[in-house]
């Protein structure tokens, strides 16, 4: 009896599944036709406005049908991305974007083949990590501290970080670099088909991680003309039922912008109002030349504050960072860490522990001085830029042309800088210059830039 | 004209989208009814056979409709997993499975609160890493080798690994642990809705990584009765149009099983016949007590061989491993690594470089001796197990009862061992004992096990 019932229901579900597939194919055929029309009209395949309308309509329908919203959005995400693929077929593929890391790999290859390179493409300080860090590394080996640790980090390191931040140990996770903190937050909290909002120009990691999990990065663009200030009403207008997170980064990479407490407070309010996670990448917090305001200060329970030992203590190649969030969020991030890496190397954790007692203020003053030096040189060259009030970068506007050809010529001449377009689609008119190197190297690099721009 | 056409097509696509959502809700309602019937009949929500039928039907239909197969499978994957969620609602949730890592975290917590623990739950050698590794670590710091490296690893380290393996440098990636090699292979090569096949009992990483990317792990179960030998015709029967990868691990964790060249060759042939990636986790290759056969020996272009410095050189807490595959596969894995971690810590890479020149054979002999010791003790206790011919574990059958209550009692008594069910759903009648510790610790641990089993 029940068995017959089960068989009949299964029969029905098969029929409905076939109907669904048929309808979806019909949708793809229509998408293809739309693609052809767009191609004739010579307009872009992507249309954010139309997509937003479709998304809102589907969410409304899902609510009426009593369908799980996340589920509806995941489905829609797949349908939309497949439509885009179908529409883009036959069109000339756009070249994959080069990021600062791509240029770094190229520069390294050139170096390996014997070329001398000035590296102003990565935020890689030349000043050394503290002596105590090296001692801790050696001591860790001598005392056999090179075993698996707790996934979220050694208790003593989590305790030490928690104490400095004024939070509990269960609100801290130690990660292999600030990047993995971003990765585990996005992968642990955002599902396929959902959305995050990034403020561009931005370090590409937020977008990359979102796309990696099958989520969408919706972009709030800021402009040189408005001094890279985010428009908060525009930010709020990007929120839809599928939005899960806002990712911010101040002091900003690549622009060096910082924001005041009032603006930050308004962003926290928007996140709170729409129940969104707020990922605040504060790896340059020590490099704020005015007063720094952390998202931590707002006590918002859905915030995730990412920090790193890389920039403050010149420990980029140690690959260690951390995040502070509610115990519940930390648990979700820890799960991702368990799947990907088990734990951070124990000797590295001991090295980071030592760094925590060090005073990095001399590093900060040095970078500030170098940034001033770069700015004065760029001024002399007549390049325009917003004066950085934090981080370690200047993001000048090119006087003409696109970033990539210029970046490529510079590579040939022995200078690596980052293309502006690596930080967002609308920024090929900019380049990012890192000011972590000694003044003579900076001067040499800027001399190359100047001569290439003059010759072009 | 074209504009009107575009508007009309968009109107149509909205209508079809609404139809799709409606049909999907209808499918969910049917799934819910099936769930209720199953509940009454007291049968499991999951039915692999039915699922396989649905999958084959959808793939057939996709082919007829000219729909992209991967796209159809992704959609189906979402529909099926949502159906499962809907059907499981109201049922008692099954407790999340404890893995060896979960027990390790618990044991660590107990230790922090002052309890003395014997750790036989993780494969963590007590013997030291080579002295040269420590020297390399210190030297790296002194010479400021703590910067970003190429994402796939330092050229000199990749070269050294490539030379030993007899491959090219572009066929090597250095990863933060063998686990991240597995992660980047699965995340880089397998898409949501697709499938991998694992042979259980197995290290849970393959399944965890597959589920992380929204893929499905289909399981070939092996049994104690057949000495954990994989049934190759059964293996082949698990392959369907959505299968992308077979993941194998010999010498095996947790059973200590090794396989002969003929069986391995047959597995390679199955992968080749169905154009599947073959992920061979060979982190215990040095710990094969008979002759070891690597998948590398078959020159199969879709194979990925994962190795680690952890086990061979007692460097578990350095978190460094590597993989060997075709340049194309390495590129895809490198992309995942760039998104997640940028690169492996440079001092750690230098340490690994030093380890490569070391002879680990004394370690291997030591573990073999300890395994024999554990086996003889288990024999004395009357426990049944397949004698391990590799790795560092014994996987005995419990004389009665389920693993978790016993593992929990053992924790209270100061012994941590791994529950069998952490390596697959069907293995709660087993536990895994790691034989990396000194004999007195092993003897102490087994004494606790013996007394707990006697008292139960």
Q: Residue A309 and residue A127: Cα distance in Å, rounded?
A: 14
pLDDT for the residue A74: 84
CATH architecture of A100-127+360-455: Alpha-Beta Complex (3.90)
Contact A136, A315 (CB under 8 A): no
DSSP B274: T
Question: What's the rounded mean pLDDT across residues A177-184?
Answer: 98
Q: Residue A135 and residue B221: Cα distance in Å, rounded?
A: 49
Asked if the Cβ–Cβ distance from B17 to A57 is below 8 Å, we say yes
Contacts of A319 (CB under 8 A, 6+ apart): A176, A177, A310, A344, A348, B176, B341, B342, B343, B344, B345
Which residues make beta-bridge pairs with B247?
Answer: B198, B279
Q: Residue B393 and residue B311: Cα distance in Å, rounded?
A: 12
Best mutation target, A75, A155, A283, to test chain B (most B CBs within 10 A):
A75
Domain borders along chain A are 23-88, 100-127+360-455, 131-355
Best mutation target, A39, A64, A340, to test chain B (most B CBs within 10 A):
A340
Burial label for B145, CB within 10 Å (0-12, 13-18, 19+), is middle
Contacts of A401 (CB under 8 A, 6+ apart): A456
Torsion-angle region of B307 (φ positive above 0: left; ψ -120 to 50: alpha; else: beta): beta
| DSSP class per residue in B84-115 | HHHHHTTSPPPPPPP-HHHHHHHHHHHHHTT-
Give pLDDT tens digits for A356-406.
999 989 999 999 999 999 999 999 999 999 999 999 999 999 999 999 999
Task: Tally C-beta pairs within 8 A across A and B.
Answer: 271
Tell me the angle at which helices A205-212 and A178-189 cross, rounded to the nearest 10 degrees: 40
Shortest distance, CA A274 to any CA of chain B (angstroms) = 25
- Reported confidence tier of residue A96, pLDDT bands at 50, 70, 90: low
For B148, the 3-state DSSP assignment is: coil
CATH, range B144-355 = 3.40.640.10
pLDDT for the residue A95: 65
**A131-355: what fold?**
3.40.640
Q: Residue A343 and residue B95: Cα distance in Å, rounded?
A: 24
Asked if the Cβ–Cβ distance from A17 to B144 is below 8 Å, we say no
Per-residue pLDDT of chain B (456 residues; tens, 9 = 90+): 788 888 999 999 999 999 999 999 999 999 989 988 988 888 877 777 888 888 888 889 999 988 888 888 888 888 888 888 888 776 766 666 788 989 998 999 999 899 999 999 988 888 999 999 999 999 999 999 999 999 999 999 999 999 999 999 999 999 999 999 999 999 999 998 899 999 999 999 999 999 999 999 999 999 999 999 999 999 999 998 889 999 999 999 999 999 999 999 999 999 999 999 999 999 999 999 999 999 999 999 999 999 999 888 999 999 999 999 999 999 999 999 999 999 999 999 999 999 999 999 999 999 999 999 999 999 999 999 999 999 999 999 999 999 999 999 999 999 999 999 999 999 999 999 999 999 999 999 999 999 999 987
Q: Residue B350 and residue B144: Cα distance in Å, rounded?
A: 12
CATH class of A23-88: mainly alpha
Of A23, A72, A75, the CB nearest to B19: A23
DSSP B356: T
Contacts of A394 (CB under 8 A, 6+ apart): A256, A371, A374, A375, A378, A385, A388, A432, A433, A435
Is some CB atom of chain A closer than 8 A to the CB atom of B338?
A: yes
ipTM value for the complex: 0.93
Q: Residue A105 and residue A250: Cα distance in Å, rounded?
A: 26
Q: Residue A434 and residue A269: Cα distance in Å, rounded?
A: 33
Best mutation target, B44, B341, B344, B350, to test chain A (most A CBs within 10 A):
B341
Asked if the Cβ–Cβ distance from A23 to B27 is below 8 Å, we say no
pLDDT for the residue A46: 74
For A114, the 3-state DSSP assignment is: coil
Residues of A in contact with B42 (CB under 8 A): none
Which residues make beta-bridge pairs with B248?
Answer: B280
Q: Which of residues 95-114 of B touch A (CB under 8 A)?
A: 101, 104-105, 108, 112
Q: Residue A56 and residue A53: Cα distance in Å, rounded?
A: 5
Nearest to A313 by CA among A120, A127, A437: A127
**Cα dist from B366 to A277, B126, B374, B380, B436, whole Å:** 51, 11, 12, 21, 8
Contact B211, A213 (CB under 8 A): no
Q: Which of residues 175-194 of B touch A (CB under 8 A)?
A: 176-177, 179-180, 183, 187, 192
Contacts of A397 (CB under 8 A, 6+ apart): A224, A383, A384, A385, A429, A430
Of B138, B183, B338, the CB nearest to A339: B183
Nearest to B337 by CA among B345, A68, B78, A424: B345
For A2, the 3-state DSSP assignment is: helix
């Amino acid at each position: 009896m029940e068995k017959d019932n089960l068989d009949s229901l299964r029969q029905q579900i098969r029929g409905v599944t076939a109907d669904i597939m048929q309808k979806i194919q019909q949708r793809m055929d229509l998408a293809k036709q739309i693609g052809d029309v767009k191609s004739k009209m010579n307009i872009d395949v992507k249309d954010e406005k139309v997509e937003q309308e479709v998304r809102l309509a589907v969410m409304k329908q899902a609510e009426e049908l009593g369908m799980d919203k996340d589920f509806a959005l995941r489905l829609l995400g797949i349908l939309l991305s497949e439509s885009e693929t179908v529409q883009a077929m036959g069109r000339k593929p756009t070249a994959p974007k080069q990021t600062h890391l791509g240029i770094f790999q190229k520069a390294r290859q050139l170096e390996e083949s014997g070329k001398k390179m000035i590296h102003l493409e990565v935020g890689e300080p030349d000043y050394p990590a503290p002596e105590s860090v090296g001692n801790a590394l050696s001591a860790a080996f001598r005392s056999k501290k090179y075993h698996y640790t707790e996934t979220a980090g050694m208790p003593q390191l989590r305790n030490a970080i928690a104490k400095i931040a004024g939070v509990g140990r269960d609100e801290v996770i130690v990660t292999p670099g600030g990047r993995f903190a971003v990765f585990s937050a996005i992968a642990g909290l955002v599902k396929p088909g959902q959305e995050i909002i990034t403020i561009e120009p931005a370090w590409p990691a937020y977008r990359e991680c979102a796309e990696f999990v099958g989520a969408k990065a919706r972009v709030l663009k800021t402009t040189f003309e408005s001094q890279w200030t985010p428009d908060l009403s525009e930010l709020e207008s990007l929120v839809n039922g599928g939005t899960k997170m806002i990712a911010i980064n101040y002091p900003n990479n690549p622009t060096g912008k910082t924001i005041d407490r009032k603006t930050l407070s308004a962003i926290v309010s928007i996140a709170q109002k729409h129940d969104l996670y707020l990922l605040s990448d504060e790896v340059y917090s020590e490099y704020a030349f005015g007063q720094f305001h952390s998202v931590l200060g707002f006590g918002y329970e859905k915030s995730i504050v990412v920090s790193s030992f890389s920039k403050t203590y010149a420990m980029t190649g140690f690959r260690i960072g951390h995040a502070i969030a509610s115990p519940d969020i930390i648990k979700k991030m820890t799960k991702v860490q368990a799947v990907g890496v088990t734990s951070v190397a124990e000797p590295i954790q001991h090295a980071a522990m030592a760094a925590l007692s060090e005073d990095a203020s001399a590093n900060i003053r040095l970078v500030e001085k170098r940034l001033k030096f770069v700015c004065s040189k760029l001024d002399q060259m007549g390049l325009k830029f917003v004066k950085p009030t934090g981080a370690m970068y200047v993001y000048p506007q090119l006087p003409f042309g696109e970033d990539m050809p210029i970046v490529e010529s510079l590579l040939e001449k022995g200078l690596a800088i980052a293309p502006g377009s690596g930080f967002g689609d609308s920024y090929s008119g900019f380049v990012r210059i890192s000011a972590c190197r000694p003044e003579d190297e900076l001067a040499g690099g800027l001399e190359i830039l100047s001569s290439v721009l003059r010759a072009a």
